[in-house]
Amino acid sequence: MKTHRLSIVSLHPHFWMTSLLLLIAAVWSAQVAAKECPPLLRHSFPSLQDGKPQNLCQYQGKVILVVNTASYCGFTDQYGGLEALNRKYKDQGLVVLGFPSNDFGNQEPGDSKKIATFCRLTYNVEFPMLEKSHVVGKQRNAFYAELERRTQQKPAWNFHKYLIDHAGKQVESFESAVAPDDKRLLESLHKMLDARKKLVRKT
């Protein structure tokens, strides 16, 4: 009795055609997604927890609250308020993004592991955190450079906040002393979430 070995060269031509079409479709989908992603979000940063690249385009269509954080600051307790916002509004389309930075007062001296452990054990932080980087000066990361350009305001201290609408176009800036439960911040947040909700209903 003869046995036949299936080699890759003996596969039906339709297999190759199907594979090629799938590859083309995948590339096309990636290009379309990139075009749909607002320019402001076309940045990638390593995750604080595991160092894996996190493309900010994954948050397109969301309202984003961006905060430069520090573990040894007078405003560090705002972590609790930020996490409370995250839990209350994430199902409505809010994403809080933390950017640890040692730019102010040497108040974030630890490495990624220490920062992640502190955030988890002290404030039970669950919102996304990126690896430590510069948020001011010539070495500031490109995302913060663009936020500064759009608002004409740069962080003056830890826990400065930028609120970005679902379209990635409107950006509002709030100084460090504006707490996560501050009326001014919440009013802007509610307006952006309502605008996002109306868009979702239309589509």
73 is catalytic: yes
DSSP letters of 37-58? S-GGG--EEEBTTT--EEEGGG
Question: Choosing from 37, 57, 73, 119, which is the catalytic residue?
Answer: 73
In whole angstroms, what is the distance from residue 60 CA to residue 41 CA? 7
- 40-79 burial, b for 16+ CB within 10 Å, e for fewer? bbbbebeebbeeeebebbebbbbbbbbbbbbbebebbebb
In whole angstroms, what is the distance from residue 16 CA to residue 14 CA? 5
User: Which residues are known catalytic residues?
Assistant: 73
